[in-house]
Amino acid sequence: MRNIVILTGAGISAESGLQTFRAADGLWEGHRVEDVATPEAFARDPELVHDFYDARRARLGEVMPNAAHVALARLDAEWAGQLLIVTQNVDDLHERAGAKRLLHMHGELLRGWCVACDARFGWAGAMGEGATCLHCHSPGKVRPDIVWFGEMPYEMDRIDAALMNADLFVSIGTSGAVYPAAGFVQTATYRGARTLEINLEPSQGSIFFDERRYGPASEEVPKWVEEVLVAKEPLKPPPI
Ligand code: APR
């Protein structure tokens, strides 16, 4: 059996109704990314940043996984080889679709992080500036457990290990604009994996992929998953 690593980005959740980051207007839900998704922004204006993430967290209750999330969960359940879904997304749509072998490299909206005692814990409702840590009970020290620009993504050791072993790397719905995720295709290539991009349009790193499929994730991902499960091979062999 073969080993598959899948990277997902905001594009996989777009058809569920969640806005991607790099929309045509360059804003994320009306904000500049620097104003809401950096540690400096949080230090400067914690109320604005909390309001922003409280709204994103509340929005999760209004959206559902789409056919792309469902197809990846099916692949996870049925693929007997190693498989890891690495998502850059902070939504919970992969897990709600049933994916188990999943890792959130940019954190999760539904988790809080206490900067006083370093505990991380599930968080469902609004957080706001006055949130109290569930462990040390300090008030005002809980922030969204989200990896902001300038912070280190989570679980890089596990991701690197999976990429080292991968036979196939698939990138879905990501613009390839943000490292280190944007560099996974090259790491996988150096280790001898085949690589596939599924996106609405060519990403910034599209030239690095062996195979490219362009279209809505809700159509392209189920099609690809079906092919893989029928063929029991993650990718067709390279042309001779
Ligand atoms: N199907 C497939 N791809 C789509 C769809 C769709 N229905 N809709 C949009 N896309 C593609 C876009 O063409 C774009 O290339 O998804 C990509 C989304 O790119 P970004 O908005 O840049 O999102 P992402 O790549 O996930 O961003 C990476 O940047 O802001 C940070 O930490 C944040 O995790 C995020 C990271």
Each residue's pLDDT tens digit, 147-181: 999 999 999 999 999 999 999 999 999 999 999 99
Active-site residue, selected from the candidate residues 50, 69, 94, 106: 106
What pLDDT is stored for residue 235 in this prediction?
55
Q: Which of 20-34, 56-70, 113-127, 211-225 has the lowest mean pLDDT?
A: 20-34
Distance CA 81, CA 167 (A): 10
User: Do 91 and 109 touch, CB atoms closer than 8 A?
Assistant: yes
* DSSP H helices in the chain: 11-14, 33-36, 39-44, 46-60, 67-78, 93-97, 156-165, 184-190, 217-231
Which residues form ligand 1's pocket by a CB distance below 6 Å? 9-11, 14-15, 20-22, 33, 88, 106, 173-175, 177-178, 199-201, 203, 216-217
| 201 CB-side CA count, 13 A | 4
Q: How many CB atoms lie within 10 A of CB 47?
A: 9
Average pLDDT score over residue span 107-136: 96
More confident residue, 149 or 236: 149
Separation of CA 72 and ligand 1 centre (Å): 17
Stated pTM of the model = 0.95
Token couple for 224: 């690809």
Nearest CA-CA partner of 140 in 151, 132, 152: 132
User: Is the pLDDT assigned to residue 213 strictly greater than 90?
Assistant: yes
The pick from 8, 16, 18, 22 for probing ligand 1's pocket by mutation, whose C-beta has the most ligand atoms within 8 angstroms, reads 22
